[in-house]
Structure 1
């Protein structure tokens, strides 16, 4: 499925499928046109189908946009947590500070790789987890002899660790696959009924058919892009600039 998300192929396939289904519905409508006055029940079915499709589309789009914003917010929170830990490393005894700062710098580097779709992301995630544990152990030992140090440094470090888990959980949080299948099925069903309603027209309403197919396909594609913001054209890397800028300032 990755190749669909990385290219406009998903839009092309959806447009082609919707146009094909609409044309099929139009031909069925021309062949089995209802006599006048007998289409009131059919209109009710069409209205229900389009209303359900619009409702599912709206809820899916809203949920995807909210999750996209939440992931960007978590990146900012993680950057703030890292910056707080970096400053509070001053509480460590002077001999312990260089090692702690080196661990934290490498940790941020590995986190940037681990949260991307680049090769080696899984290995970078494992490396970041081991660095996290090493940093915690080093800080616990170093701050033990500092008065008030554990109260200031360790909670900040604990928040950083918690945000790592929260970001990983948020990155994996998506609607069940059946929701997308339902969305596509409703789109095709609506296209079939729309094409059937066009069957009474003698000329091919190509503009209406193309507009419906394009708008529907692009909307579904944007939803998928928002759900997987590191795989397609909609990217979340702009938020990663906070971590990159923070890394450059950690000298």
Structure 2
């Protein structure tokens, strides 16, 4: 198998189906529409009940509204906690990979030239492919495959360069010492790719959105049923909830959006490797 064709083997990595822009439009438009619709239906219901001489308070359904708000709080807390754990896992994977690459580069100093310089250069070139530039968001399958293929091409040089640099008469302990570090750098790639998968299915995200819209609808409906005005406080609650939903989606996507995974450790590692190569 050619190194670049291995990208197809990562097709099971589940990426987000909806872009952050689409999610923003859904929550910014959907929640105010639910708010206004709930208030309008509540006002109509109040007029009908008043015309029939019935007590409006008997039809408010405060228990149902409280239950939906409690459920919404639980779902938002769960999804936010899940998103935060994913973000921390992505950060840890990026940090561990930077450490593994830096270790492999340093251990290559125990080898003799010309294999040492060739291996260190291959590790340096590979490290540069692991960076996701700030202006290049991985928000589509095509961009993910392009980033992955560039890494796999550079990665394909590492093990042959390791075998060449550690061949006899390199002592076996040094061979194992260097090869294990390079192997750790290769394994770190798998962990980092795995963290980019989306563990929460789109159906689960839709359930959270439906629960949010229902809770906002019931809140506005109660306001209309009571004959009160739709104040800015209700709209503020709706927009704040929309921001929370967007933030949850943003946090879970470490290489796109506003809240992105820091890559300072990888940048520092690349800088140190570059300085070391220039000094040789």
TM-score (norm 2): 0.79
Tell me, in whole angstroms, the C-alpha distance in 2 between the residues paired with 1:139 and 1:114: 28
Contact 1:75 1:240 in 2 (8 A): yes
CA offset digits 1:216-251 (Å, max 9, x no partner): 100001001111122211122xx2122122111112
SS in structure 1 at match of 2:130: helix
> Map of 1:142-221 to 2, 5 A cutoff?
142-145=165-168, 146-147=170-171, 148-221=173-246
Name the counterpart of 2:268: 245
Tell me, in whole angstroms, the C-alpha distance in 1 between the residues paired with 2:208 and 2:143: 34
CA offset digits 1:162-209 (Å, max 9, x no partner): 110110010113310011111111111111111111013434232222
Q: How far 1:161 sits from its partner (Å)? A: 0.8
TM-score (norm 1): 0.87
CA RMSD of aligned residues (A): 2.6
Tell me, in whole angstroms, the C-alpha distance in 1 between the residues paired with 2:129 and 2:100: 16
CA offset digits 1:62-118 (Å, max 9, x no partner): 100111011111111111111110110012222211111111111111221599537
Moved more, 135-144 or 218-227: 135-144
Contact 1:92 1:139 in 2 (8 A): no
Tell me, in whole angstroms, the C-alpha distance in 1 between the residues paired with 2:118 and 2:66: 67
Q: How far 1:128 sits from its partner (Å)? A: 2.2
Unaligned runs of 5+ in 2: 1-15, 50-54
Tell me, in whole angstroms, the C-alpha distance in 2 between the residues paired with 1:109 and 1:73: 18
Instruction: Establish whether residue 229 from structure 1 lines up as the match of residue 242 from structure 2.
Output: no
Contact 1:2 1:231 in 2 (8 A): no
Name the counterpart of 1:137: 160
Unaligned runs of 5+ in 1: none
Tell me, in whole angstroms, the C-alpha distance in 2 between the residues paired with 1:125 and 1:143: 27
